[in-house]
């Protein structure tokens, strides 16, 4: 867990980040850390990103985990200043920053933060922050458990990014994976679905 990995009792040290090409961070991971450890992690991520590391971030907002709304917005603003890839949801961003609508969220992210990534909009499908693809997305046929919708989308997007897929391919792959996952209890795909997805990727 982030609290243990980056806590004072951990002997690994922040330089462990340098071992990885890409680091994914969630707002939940930041929110549960004591302020000192949170600041240290963010500083380490800034150092890592400045030296070529890829930082993917999802604000994944849980208001009760933060000390105050002000600290939540300040921390997320810092993350958006340097994150390489943005994977937020529109509802979270509107809540954190009091943005009026999705267009306001996109304008803020593209002006002050990363310009690569996707704004998750649930059944409406993602908005491409690079703004060079316009496409439609199919909704899940039968939503059973939406617990892992965002995480599933992020996994699909990052898998496509790592594999060198185009922006459009990443968005479709991410939305398709999330749409599949939410149709199963426990937010876990059955083995037959996993085999199907693996064969498609292969």
Report the catalytic residues: 151
Contact 93, 150 (CB under 8 A): no
Could you tell me how many residues make up the chain?
A: 202
| Gap between the Cα atoms of 199 and 19, Å rounded | 30
Neighbours of 45 (CB within 10 A): 22
| Gap between the Cα atoms of 33 and 14, Å rounded | 14
Classified as helix, coil or strand, 56 is: strand
Listed in sequence order, the residues at least 6 apart from 14 whose beta carbon sits closer than 8 Å to its beta carbon are 6, 40, 41, 43, 44
| Gap between the Cα atoms of 137 and 126, Å rounded | 8
| Gap between the Cα atoms of 140 and 56, Å rounded | 25
């Amino acid at each position: 867990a982030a609290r243990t990995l980056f806590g004072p009792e951990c002997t690994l040290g922040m330089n462990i980040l340098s071992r990885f090409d890409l680091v994914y961070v969630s707002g939940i991971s930041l929110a549960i850390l004591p302020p000192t450890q949170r600041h240290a992690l963010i500083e380490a991520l800034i150092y890592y990103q400045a030296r070529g590391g890829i930082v993917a971030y999802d604000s994944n907002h849980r208001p009760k985990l933060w000390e105050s709304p002000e600290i939540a917005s300040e921390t997320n603003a810092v993350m958006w200043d340097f994150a390489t890839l943005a994977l937020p949801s529109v509802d979270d961003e509107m809540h954190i920053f009091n943005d009026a609508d999705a267009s306001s969220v996109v304008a803020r992210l593209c002006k002050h933060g990363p310009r690569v990534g996707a704004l998750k909009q649930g059944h409406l499908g993602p908005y491409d922050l690079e703004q060079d693809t316009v496409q439609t997305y199919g909704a899940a046929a039968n939503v059973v458990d939406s617990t892992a919708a965002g995480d599933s989308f992020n996994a699909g997007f990052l898998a496509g990014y790592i594999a060198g897929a185009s922006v459009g391919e990443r968005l479709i792959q991410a939305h398709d994976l999330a749409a599949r996952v939410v149709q199963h209890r426990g937010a876990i795909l059955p083995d037959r679905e996993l085999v199907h997805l693996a064969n498609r990727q292969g």
